[in-house]
Chain A
Amino acid sequence: MSDSPIAVEEHGPELRHHFETVEQQRNAASLGMWLFLGTEIMFFGGMFCAYLIYRMNYFNEFAAGSRSLDVWLGTINTMVLICSSLTVALGVRAAQMGKRTLLVILLLTTIIFGFAFLGIKGIEWYDKYKEHHIPGTSFSADDLVRDYPQIHIDQSHEQLYFSLYFAMTGLHALHMVIGVGIFAFLTFHAWKGRYTPNYYTPVEIGGLYWHFVDIVWIYLFPLLYLIDRRPLG
């Protein structure tokens, strides 16, 4: 990583004046986003830590709670996010190649995938609401007690599972909403022609953020949905 200024004869309007070169600006933005994602890992990490400890101690309740989630909806959501990461990566490439229309289409598709994810998540949460699995005063795991007579379910431990389920998927969904907002911003500016092969840094770092949110889900899905899916004897 060179530190000496590269003589630049001309620079686009995007170069902020405290930077010497466009390359320096892009590298700074990229490093900044990676560091920010590092902080996000630590942020989610605290909850993953709590999850791991309680899952170890209350495995049965966690397994029962996990089974009550719709694994098909979760799988569809996982595919939706993976596809959205594809459109994001293709979008960065489109920006690199100066293909404005393609870029706009890909960004819009990403947003649509994002909404699809959020919509499906909304359906899942509504299901949980109907089943009285939302923590709080109206929480009840009687249905799980009935469905799994071979294990003893302590309802306060079961509520812990769902508390963590909602906290983790809720925090993830919040990040998705922010991601959709970021991509709306990117789509608007892409449509205005702001991103060129010389300057597409916002698309790149917006893409990094989206990939991160995707990866968090890749961890959440097995941890929350796939705890114990062995066929019941």
Chain B
Amino acid sequence: MAATAPRQQGTLGSARLREALVGYAFIAVPMGIFLTFFIYPLVYSLYISRYDWGVFGKIETLGWENYREMWHDEIFWRSIKNTLLYTVVVVPVEMALALSLAVIVNAGIRGKSFFRSSFYFPSLASSAAITAIAIYILSADGLLNAVVGGQRSWFGDSDTALWSIAGLNAWTTSGTMMLFYLAALQAIPTDVYEAAAMDGAKTWRTFSRITFPLLKPGHFFVSVVAVIGALQVFDQAFIVSNGSGGPNYSTLTAVLYLYRTAIADVRFGYAATIGIALFLLIFTLTLIQRLLFGKAETA
């Protein structure tokens, strides 16, 4: 990767050795952390998943029993269904919103940094604080009902709870996604637009025929980030349902079910199994996206 720097003769061997030793010393702590808390857990998780594992460790060897149980666990499948439905809804909304905001901010308008900051603003707030605010605004006698009418508790009704979380997250993440799209928009060469202007192309036509297709790497990157984020949705579901995933399992996302299995039920073996399944799901969907977008380079 890096070119070799010219070196003095003679002491070459020992200097090289010293450089290598210094190099290892400089990365020792980070590598130790990564091996212990990232790489090793991959293997350890597989190991735990083959046991009935409680608060004090192994209880009993189960072999593949946890996997069999998961396959027949209706609540698990309900949580996967919730998560996938949520993802299918929230990702396109996030992307459309983010792209619109990016195009607006990127157009020749005055005060674009003001608008950029306003749109990014919700991305700054913590998930807990913003969820608390959403609970208040979407409560039965909250601000939203005062505007649209009705008495619905949006997070308390199993028909709307998950979609309310989707709306909340589409809003809070759009700012970050907007920044990714802005970077992608900026990467489009200016002469492309000059040529379009010369041809007398209209704004919408320029956008749909030129900008949108040229944003392919941007779409890929944003969609990967959005899908991974959506499949891992947890904080908001946890807070609105007091950690239960209710009402009636409507906000039970896959990660929330994983959390409940591990922490509330203290079934670490089974929870590890769910974690592995979730990892495979995320991994597969990311691969599929990569295939769909062809060889679009990541941003």
Chains A and B belong together in one complex: no
Binding site for A on B (CB under 8 A): none
